[in-house]
Amino acid sequence: MGKQKQQVISRFFAPKPKTTNPSSSSSSSFPPSSSSSANPHHPPTPPPKITATVNFSPSKRTLLSSHLTSSSPKPSKLPKLSPHTHNPIPTAPNPSLHQKFLQKLLEPSSDVPEPSPSSNPPAKFTPLEQQVVDLKKRYPDVLLMVEVGYKYRFFGQDAEIAASVLGIYAHMDHNFLTASVPTFRLNVHVRRLVSAGYKVGVVKQTETAAIKAHGSNRSGPFGRGLSALYTKATLEAAEDVGGKEEGCGGDSNYLACVVDKSVALENVDGGVDSGIEVKIGIVAVEVSTGDVVYGEFNDNCMRSGLEAAVLSLSPAELLIGDPLSKQTEKILLAFSGPASNVRVEHVSRDHFNEGGAFAEVMSLYENMDGDDLTDHPKIDTDVKEQSTIRLGIEGIMNMPNLAVQALALTVRHLKQFGLERILHLGASFRPLSSSMEMTLSANALQQLEVLKNNADGSESGSLLQSMNQTLTIFGSRLLRHWVTHPLCDGNMICARLDAVSEIAESMGSSKAQNIEQLDAEDSFVTNWKPELNYILSSVLTTLGRSTDIQRGITRIFHRTATPSEFIAVIQAILYAGKQLQQLQIEEEGSKENLRGKTVRSDLLRKLICTASSSTVIGNAARLLSTLNKEAADKQDLPNLIISDGQFPEVAEARMEVQMAKKKLDSLISLYRKQLGMRKLEFISVSGTTHLIELPLDVKVPSNWVKINSTKKTVRYHPPDVLTALDHLALANEKLTITCRAAWDNFLSGFGKYYAEFQAAVQAVASLDCLHSLAVLSRNKNYVRPVIVYDDEPVQIHISSGRHPVLETTLQDNFVPNDTDLQADREYCQIITGPNMGGKSCYIRQVALIAIMAQHHRQSCMCWMAFSLEWVLLTVSTKGEAPFLKN
């Protein structure tokens, strides 16, 4: 290895001498009086230069670092709390000598002025700094990114946070510490700051240079205002940075609001039931998909019901409605610890007493209805949209009191982001639990490793990971919900069993099948129709490669989608509908005596009809016909909308631009006559247009502005050209603003189509889950369970069952097991054996098989029972399975 490098460092890094009082230091710094009197003429000996030679090996560096820190002990400080996540910031370990050098040299000082009213302002602020100070007064808890030219700048404490999180350089500029990032990297840096738990606000310039030059603020700074707010729960639905591939991907981003109220319930004997302590209300909103979950339930002192709800939803952000009981807050803060990195925000609900919460929610619907009729008079209000609003109001009228309070807090929170419109769609509301579903406790979700493994908390090795064979992101989100909410209704379970069975059977056939049908003359004819699995797999594979259309249509509803994103989402829905139409599914009730059905399962037929509805396909084609795809790809808003009749203001703005161009081009004839040059033309050089290029010997009026020159020519801008260019720039800016307003108006009109498009996408997601379960059943040789009737006793019979996760790891080494339990016979088993003998594995295996056989919601997994030869799994559907209770 050779001799290690050594380096001599300055006195700055040497061990500092111990501090003493002035008297002792004076006596020790100077020699004794006797010696000084003996040699009065000798000059004092200069102190020796202190140097230190440090070996940069890890062991020596650690030893020296510990010596330095031990020589000058510092008082211990309390852990610093993050102002945004309210979690303690972990302290860094004892740094080495080299790290100390970097900290001293590169890190900014913590004593930096903060652009807030509480700090002492300097003598004079620049106009930009004054704008930042005013913005900080209005948004004290927001990390601001201020647009300045081609950069977004941070100021004060925000700059220090950005330098730490983003790894960028911060420096002093005038009165504040500042840091900056380029504008084209906004998406990346906002996502990194939001992932760190901060609420990020983007401040943009509200006027352009052309408009500012013709306004009253021509001598002042550019006007700026907060254009967008971002947090974890609202990032995917927000403007400019949402809908990207970076970040959360297919994970759920629920915003969950929790409130509670102390209760005391009487038991049967007339006493107070000590097991029930509080009543909890919860509302969870997935802003990027429009899913709204609400519920109110009684909970005990352990808050097991709240813990199960939070684990099932896995929210990205929590709103805590103060006042909240200590135990409830403790559970929520434990869930939002450093491991989960969930953002927490406290909001007060004192003003929602005595009907205030209901009034807050109802004002949302009143404002939505009024805004739709006032701001968009050219768009007829659709009957379906009005019926959807009525359903939403009726649903809120039936919601429990605490759930309404949580909803009111959520509405008020989303108003600052401009995303509250998603809550007025009643079709998106669903209860947290119902009689059709099983409720898995938090202990069951954790011990059975349904969503995450118990080793490192990741999804690898969980039941969800072993079952997930979906091809789309939105299908994966739906499958997660099915896994955590098994069904209890036997008819719904059988319907999903039939659907998965039919898809699995079609996987072994060819791409087309021979179908015999009756023609008009009652004679059999033979048609070739595409096979079910081939169509489903091709559609789902194509959608899996495209954007997330479920979040895409919600972003369109929020009016935050870009033109290229709008076209991509609508084209994907149109493609899926046309491909599924090849299956020629007839509407329910028509041609019931048709012998050759392409699809036999009623559930599959319903889902395919919803996804390939002629109404959805017609509306999608109509929306695409009004837009120019090439202009959308280039982000060319002035040429985006093809139909001028729908937006006459755009046509007027285009006409104004054309007139300004004609006026500018007509000036060349004047200069031809003035200079006597018939072939004189305007030229463009390096982005500068309408230049007049003349030889060096040609004389021009003194008021002509020289732009640039060469060895032989000079290029000018006459005053009339400058005035015309100014008018043209102003006309182009007005056209851009008009087109942006027209695009926003166009997106607002999508609201009346949102419900049917959402239903189509949900149907495709259900088809993806059914296809995933069919693939799983064929790959693992799973067989169909048998569901007993309600009049039979509760029972479960498993022959040669296998653990769904461990068999993947052990493969052929896993030993199958049988289970036979019945309510009126053997209803209990005592399992004994040595340590690591498989007792816990066997118990979990039975529970997981039951969960996989009873999946929830519109589609579900139904191929259960693990066997190599033959398996019969019999599951009762009377409420919850006893062995799944905790």
Pick the more confident residue, 436 or 886: 436
pLDDT at 111 over 60: no
Element (H, E) at 360: helix 356-375
Asked if residue 591 has pLDDT above 60, the reply is no
Which stretch of 653-662, 812-821, 847-856 has the lowest confidence by average pLDDT?
847-856
Of the ranges 210-219, 342-351, 851-860, which is most confident? 342-351
What number is the average pLDDT over the span 354-369? 72
Query: Is 427 in contact with 758 (CB distance < 8 Å)?
Result: yes
Query: pLDDT by residue (tens digit) across 514-531?
Result: 444 434 444 434 444 458
DSSP H or E segment with residue 54: strand 52-55
Q: How confident is the model at residue 518, as a pLDDT?
A: 39
CA distance 869 to 733: 73
Q: Is the pLDDT reported for residue 430 higher than 80?
A: yes
Which range of 277-286, 414-423, 520-529, 629-638 scores highest in mean pLDDT? It is 277-286
What pLDDT score does 340 carry?
A: 77
Q: Which of 478, 533, 505, 506 is nearest to 855 (CA)?
A: 478
pLDDT range class, residue 91, cuts 50, 70, 90: low
Strand partners, 284: 256, 293
pLDDT value of position 453 = 86
The distance of Cα 740 from the centroid of its chain, to the nearest Å, equals 25
Q: How confident is the model at residue 46 (pLDDT cuts 50, 70, 90)?
A: low
Q: Is the peptide bond before 115 cis (omega within 30 degrees of 0)?
A: no
> What is the per-residue pLDDT for 17?
52
User: If you ran DSSP here, which 8-state letter would residue 156 be given?
Assistant: T
Scanning 152-199, the segments in alpha helix (DSSP H) are 157-166, 186-195
Is residue 884 a contact partner of residue 496, using CB atoms and an 8 Å limit? Answer: no
What confidence score (pLDDT) does residue 210 get? Answer: 66
For residue 878, pLDDT beyond 80? no
Compute the distance between CA of residue 769 and CA of residue 777 in angstroms, rounded to an integer: 12
Cα four-point dihedral sign 237, 772, 860, 534: positive
Give the residue, 853 or 680, on which the prediction is more confident.
680
Q: Higher-confidence residue: 372 or 600?
A: 600
Mean pLDDT score of the chain: 76
Dist. CA 278–CA 264, nearest whole Å: 8
Mean pLDDT of 198-202: 93
Least confident of 312-326, 634-648, 739-753: 634-648
Q: Which of 55-59, 410-414, 779-783 has the lowest mean pLDDT?
A: 55-59
Tell me the pairing of strands 6-9 and 52-55: antiparallel
Q: What is the pLDDT of residue 572?
A: 94
C-alpha span between 794 and 646 (Å, rounded): 63
**Closest Cα partner for 286 from 336, 242, 234?**
234
Listed residue (500, 719, 728) closest to 601, CA to CA: 500
Residues 6+ apart with CB under 8 A from 398: none
Round to whole Å and give the CA distance between 796 and 872. Answer: 9
Contacts of 809 (CB under 8 A, 6+ apart): 461
- Kindly state the average pLDDT of the residues 822-827: 80
3-state secondary structure of 277: coil
> Higher pLDDT residue, 26 or 192?
192
End-to-end CA, the chain: 61
Over residues 566-584, the pLDDT tens digits come to 999 999 999 999 999 888 7
Instruction: Decide if pLDDT at 589 tops 80.
Output: no
Q: Residue 620: pLDDT band by 50, 70, 90 thresholds?
A: very high
The structure tokens 């340590």 sit at: 835
Residue 859's pLDDT is 30
Residues 6+ apart with CB under 8 A from 192: 165, 166
Please tell me which of 22-31, 95-104, 218-227, 723-732 the model is most confident about, judged by mean pLDDT. Answer: 723-732
Q: Is the dihedral of CA 185, 477, 238, 286 positive or negative?
A: negative
**pLDDT value at residue 80:** 56
Give yes or no for residue 240 having a pLDDT over 50: yes
pLDDT at 576: 94
How confident is the model over 241-299, as pLDDT tens digits? 755 544 444 567 899 999 999 886 555 444 444 556 899 999 999 988 888 889 999 98
pLDDT at 390 over 50: yes
Alpha helices (H) along 592-718: 602-611, 614-625, 629-633, 648-665, 667-675
In this prediction, residue 428 has a pLDDT band, given cuts at 50, 70 and 90, of: confident
Region 199-225: what's the mean pLDDT?
A: 77
pLDDT of residue 96: 63
- Answer whether residue 590 shows pLDDT above 80: no
Name the DSSP class of 91: P
Q: For 121-168, how does the pLDDT look when each residue is reduced to its tens digit (9 = 90+)?
A: 555 888 889 999 999 999 999 999 999 989 999 999 999 999 999 999
Q: What distances in angstroms separate CA 111 from CA 114, 118, 119, 158, one per listed residue?
A: 9, 14, 11, 13
pLDDT of residue 436: 78
Q: Residue 736's pLDDT is what? A: 87
How far is Cα 771 from Cα 507, in angstroms, rounded to an integer?
A: 10
pLDDT attached to residue 607 = 93
Q: Please name the residues in contact with 368: beta carbons below 8 A apart, sequence gap of 6 or more.
A: 389, 421, 424
Q: Work out the angle at residue 443's Cα, subtended by the Cα atoms of residues 438 and 447, and round it to the nearest 5 degrees.
A: 105
Residue 161: what pLDDT? Answer: 94
Cβ of 857: how many Cβ atoms within 10 Å? 19
Note whether 153 and 178 are within 8 A (CB): yes
For CA atoms 715, 720, 724, 725, give the dihedral sign: positive
Whether the predicted pLDDT of 30 surpasses 50: no
Query: What does the pLDDT read at residue 569?
Result: 94
Q: How much is the pLDDT for 714?
A: 93
Q: Give the model's pLDDT for residue 839.
A: 84
Lowest mean pLDDT among 339-343, 345-349, 768-772, 865-869: 865-869
pLDDT at 813: 75
Neighbouring C-alpha atoms within 13 Å toward the C-beta of 548: 24
Q: Return the beta strands (E) in 241-307 as ranges.
A: 254-262, 278-286, 291-299
**CA 7 centroid distance within chain:** 49
Cβ–Cβ < 8 Å for 811, 802: no
Q: What is the dihedral of CA 320, 324, 330, 331, to 10 degrees?
A: -70
pLDDT band at 798 (very low <50, low <70, confident <90, very high): confident
Tell me the H-state helices in 749-877: 751-780, 806-810, 839-853
Q: Label residue 53 by pLDDT band (50, 70, 90).
A: very low
> Could you give all domains of the chain from N- to C-terminal order, each with its CATH number?
6-36+48-71 (no CATH), 127-230 (3.40.1170.10), 254-433 (3.30.420.110), 781-886 (3.40.50.300)
Q: What are phi and psi of 336, to 5 degrees?
A: -95, 30
DSSP single-letter state for residue 287? T
Which pLDDT value is given to residue 214? 64
- Give the strand order in the sheet containing 688-695: 682-685, 688-695, 713-717, 705-709
User: How confident is residue 814, by pLDDT bands cut at 50, 70 and 90?
Assistant: confident
Q: Which two tokens stand for residue 41?
A: 């003429």
**Number of CB atoms found within 10 A of residue 183's CB:** 14
Of the candidate ranges 94-103, 235-244, 819-828, the one whose mean pLDDT is the lowest: 94-103
Share of the chain above pLDDT 70, in %: 71
Alpha-carbon span 772 to 510, nearest angstrom: 19
Tens-place pLDDT, residues 334-358: 888 777 788 999 998 887 766 778 8
> Measured between alpha carbons, how far is 602 from 479 in angstroms, rounded to an integer?
20
Q: What is the reported pLDDT for 190? A: 93
* Token representation of residue 13: 């890094």
Q: What average pLDDT does range 487-515 have in this prediction?
A: 76
| pLDDT (0 to 100) of residue 82 | 53
Among the listed ranges 265-274, 380-389, 856-865, which one has the minimum average pLDDT value? 856-865
Lowest mean pLDDT among 238-242, 269-273, 460-464, 694-698: 269-273
The pLDDT, as a whole number, for residue 78 is: 54
Q: Say what the pLDDT of residue 188 is.
A: 92
Averaged pLDDT, 768-793: 84
Task: Return the percentage of the chain with pLDDT > 90, whole number.
Answer: 24
